[in-house]
Amino acid sequence: MAIPLEKLDSCRWLIPKKGSMRVPGLLFSTERLLQDIRNDQSLVQVCNVAAMPGIVGYSLAMPDIHWGYGFPIGGVAAFDAEEGVISPGGVGYDINCGCRLMTTSLRASDLSGLMQTLVTELFKNIPTGIGSTGSVRLSRKDQDKVAVEGAAWAVKNGYGEPGDLNHTEDRGTMDGADPSVVSERARKRGIDQLGTLGSGNHFLEIQVVDTLYDAQKARAFGLFEGQVTVFIHSGSRGYGHQVCDDFLKEMGNMFPIDTFQLPDRQLVCAPLSSDLGRRYLSGMACAANYAWANRQILMHWTREVFQRTLQVTPRDLGMHLLYDVCHNIAKREQHILEGTAMTLCVHRKGATRALPPKHPQLPDTYRTTGQPVLIPGDMGTYSFVLAGAAAAMQHSFGSSCHGAGRVLSRSKAIKLSKGRSIHRELEDKGILVQSRGKTTLKEEMPDAYKDVSQVVGAVHDAGLATKVARLRPLGVIKG
């Protein structure tokens, strides 16, 4: 079914309100990216989200949008805090899947001859892969503390420095977490997965700062050309998946299917004002905190591996957290809508918050620059650092894209990779890869994703966030 689009300008397209849509859709994209977007059902999903109760403004689609389940991946939707709903599908199974970028004092030349050893050591010491378990042993009480305190728990227990929390979204702790709403099944799935990278599109990547677009902001972010950086992409693992699954089932039981037809059952939801809605938000906060603790621990181990392998002191390594962002989350935020200040519940599923300069929620370090927005590319191409800009608050509820976005299904990617050695192709580009899964590299090959430069270009041109730096991969570990 072709969804009609009206071009507003070079990077914004309107999906007019029709049928059961309560608001129009708004897609941020270039003409070129639109060709890929039209190949799957993502725009249908934008329209479906627009039909949900209490939605305000637009059903938004970022340039990396692709077909998800219920909400599209790369979808943003805001709901009135009093009359709107919360939808677990609008957050996603991997609650607080997100990424963090670390800067170092090293230059790429400092790793000359050591890259292979470094990648191998990271692969040995960072648990990756399907069903991987970590070395962090949690008692039930500890697990509850992780759920409430998030990254702060990790720092308190020796995984990192207090300063890391200043540069983590929400300081790595989401308020309102209540472990009593988390099921035994979620606890069981998460008990031995803290400090694990995961599989699929999760990764840890060593990079070099390849290009600076904004020297002033780059300096404020601590970036310089030729600098070694490290990118981590991971989430809440089985804990978050089970929390989402449990609440989808519970909301499914309660949803009044006789009076309200959902266009997609994965969009099941509950009023924000209801007990069920509040319990989901508490459970979601637990999973979000678990993910922040997870990424904090992964960063700590990365620091240790670098120090040990390169035989440098922490001071000489200088590995600092630039920022940590989530891209699967729902948050209560203040926004101005048609001149009126409103409290909204903003769902971001495969989308990143992008706060502009002077926003009160920014740490002091970034008040003049805007929030760092971290956009990982696929493993064969660049990642980008951007800075949140004013237009994001006006047009996208302070949101930006989260990555490159898939264009190929996993089975198509595997077919396309027949007869090719993805490992060798990446090596030829100077990128060393170690992965655990046999099909991971094929499924995650660069051809399976959109051109991240185009995605970032669309975000930049739309004014949602401005380009600061481009990062080129040197070594990657994947599950």
Partner 1 sequence: MFSTPPIPKPVRGRPPFFLLCFPQKRQCPLSSFSLLSVNHFAVCTVRKNNLNPLSLADDNRRRIRYHSAVDAREPKYSVLEHTADLGLRVRGETLEQLFVHAAEAMLHCMIRVEPFEPVKTVPVGLDGRDWEDLLVRWLGEILYWFQGEKRVTIRARISSLSSRRLEGMLDTISYDPTHQEILCDIKAVTYHQIAVLEQNGVWEATVILDV
Query: Under the rule (CB under 8 A), what is the footprint of partner 1?
Result: 40, 42, 66-70, 73, 89, 93-94, 130-131, 185, 188-189, 199-200, 238, 241-242, 244-245, 248-249, 252-253, 257, 264-266, 268, 406-412, 414-415, 418, 437-439, 479
Distance (Å, whole) CA 128 – CA 400:
28
- For 203, the enclosing helix (H) or strand (E) is strand 203-212
Please enumerate in sequence order all residues whose Cβ is within 8 A of that of 357, keeping only pairs 6 or more positions apart, or say none.
Answer: 367, 368, 369, 370, 387, 388, 389, 390
Q: Which residues are catalytic?
A: 402
- Tell me the torsion sign for CA atoms 377, 316, 304, 372: negative
Here the tokens at position 415 are 């077919």
Q: What is the CA radius of gyration of the chain?
A: 21
DSSP assigned state of 449: B
Element (H, E) at 452: helix 452-461
Which residue, 266 or 466, is less far from partner 1 as judged by CB?
266
Contacts of 319 (CB under 8 A, 6+ apart): 102, 103, 104, 230, 299, 302, 303, 306
DSSP 335-371: EEETTEEEEEEEEEES-EE-PPTT-TTS-GGGTTT--
Going by DSSP bridges, is the β-strand pair 432-435/12-15 parallel, antiparallel, or unpaired? unpaired
CB nearer to partner 1: pick between 70 and 446: 70
Give the largest CA-CA distance in the chain: 66
For 256, residues 6+ apart whose C-beta sits below 8 A from its C-beta are none
The CB density around residue 261, as the number of other CB atoms within 10 Å, is 9
E strand or H helix that includes residue 78:
strand 71-80
Give the Cα separation of 334 and 281 in Å (integer): 17
Contact between 350 and 68 under an 8 Å Cβ cutoff? The reply is yes
